[in-house]
Amino acid sequence: MNYIFYFLIVISIISGAINGRLQEVVNSILTGAELSVKVAFSLIGIMAFWLGMMEIAKKSGLVEIIAKIIKPITKRLFNEIPENSPAVGDIAMSFTANAFGLTNAATPIGIKAMEELQKQNIDKKSASNAMCMFLAMNTAGFQLIPATVIAVLIGIGYKNPTEIIAPTLLVTSIAFISAIFIAKLLEKFWKPQNNAAQTDSDAIDGGRR
Amino acid sequence: MFQSLMDIISLWALPAIIILILTFGLLRKVPLYEVFTTGAKEGFKVSISIIPYLVAIMVGISMFRASGIIEYFGQLLSPILSHFNVSADIIPLMIVRPLSGSAALGIFSDIAHSAGADAFTTKLAAIMVGSSETTFYVLAVYFGSVGISKLRYALLAGILADIIGIASAILVCNWLF
């Protein structure tokens, strides 16, 4: 994250200077900062609502039931996390929300899942393999119906906007499946989480094998 | 038929989930109101705690967009992409899509308006927007909420998946339309 942060900002300033848009770049600091607070504040209400709903789902055992149903899939994808962890149920709920295009619900539920994954993380500062997998699947943005896009197409008088649903589904599935494979592949080649914690993770892995 | 089915699904998905959660909770004798409010209390805390991470990433992205470097990338890529019927208008969309959802939707609207309803460019843009996510925003919010700063391979995996998504959008579009 350190490098991303550095390069994003320094490259923007340098290229802004070359393009003669330094003023715009400087102004954009304020716009960006303002927007991030707006986003965070607009999340509060809906976040509270879905975290409340998820708490009911968890207490009633619904999350656990969902976790059991999809266990065959999650066992392979998230082999680090215990099978009956509430994280599995949260992850499943989060993908359900995403698949139906319920972005408002997907973010709070996704954050809930991250919190559960963090409980099992051996190094609280760095991302566990399960987190990387969850994020990779999430950024691929699997969605059954691209509702916003269809709304725009209807707005410009597109005759048959639903014809893009099938190709979009095909593309998003390709991206989703590749995300899973890429994450699995990188997991093998990437340096394991930091040294102090590594011995722990080896011990756990060894024990499981 | 297919369209009305899709409409019904998108309309009913959310209410159905809510009814399911509440009814199941009631049957299992969960004190709904108390449990709901306990969970909801976290909402404020979580939203506020992601602000520093959001500021870091969104200021960076907003500076990046203002700097004009995206147009430069566009000029660099357009000779290659024009072989695949990808017009120069779409390139900024490809670069902005992982960075900002609202900006991508804005560019998409512009493209749709100027290229017209049945243009290949409009269809390609629609599929690109519909089939991907704002990778950087998701990373910042999700990792920010639990205070993780070492992303390991999460970003690389996300970006590679985005690139594969864009490439397959171009291929699928060329094949179908």
- What range does the domain containing A111 cover? 42-193
- Alpha carbons B30 and A56: distance in angstroms, whole number: 7
Q: A1-5, A179-183, B91-95 — which is least confidently predicted?
A: A1-5
Report A:84-113 residues touching B (Cβ under 8 A).
Answer: 96-97, 100-102, 105, 107-108, 110-111
Question: Is the ipTM of this structure higher than 0.90?
Answer: no
For residue A30, is it within any domain?
Answer: no
What is the full DSSP assignment across A2-22?
Answer: HHHHHHHHHHHHHHHHHTT-H
Q: Are residues A89 and A64 in contact, defined by beta-carbon separation less than 8 angstroms?
A: yes
If 0-12 CB within 10 Å is exposed, 13-18 middle and 19+ buried, where does residue A197 land?
middle
Q: How many CA atoms lie within 13 A of A27 on its CB side?
A: 7
Kindly identify which residue of chain A lies nearest to residue B17, measuring between CA atoms. Answer: A97
Number of domains into which chain A is organized: 1
Q: Which of B28, B127, B154 sits opposite A135 (nearest CB)?
A: B154
Alpha helices, H only, chain B:
2-27, 32-49, 51-66, 69-81, 90-96, 101-115, 120-130, 135-145, 154-176
In this prediction, residues A125-144 reach a mean pLDDT of 87
Q: Inter-chain contact A145–B6, Cβ cutoff 8 Å?
A: yes
For residue A1, is it within any domain?
Answer: no
For residue A75, is it within any domain?
Answer: yes
Q: Inter-chain contact B63–A28, Cβ cutoff 8 Å?
A: yes
Provide the pLDDT confidence category of residue B2 given band limits of 50, 70 and 90: low
Angle, vertex CA B164, rays to CA B3 and CA B63, nearest 5? 95
In this prediction, residues A181-207 reach a mean pLDDT of 66
For residue A132, is it within any domain?
Answer: yes
Report A:127-156 residues touching B (Cβ under 8 A).
Answer: 127, 131-132, 134-136, 138-141, 143-149, 152-153, 155-156
For residue A48, is it within any domain?
Answer: yes
pLDDT for res A194: 65
Number of domains into which chain B is organized: 1
Q: Both tokens of residue B12?
A: 């009913």
For residue A207, is it within any domain?
Answer: no
For residue A112, is it within any domain?
Answer: yes
Q: Are residues B154 and B105 in contact, defined by beta-carbon separation less than 8 angstroms?
A: no
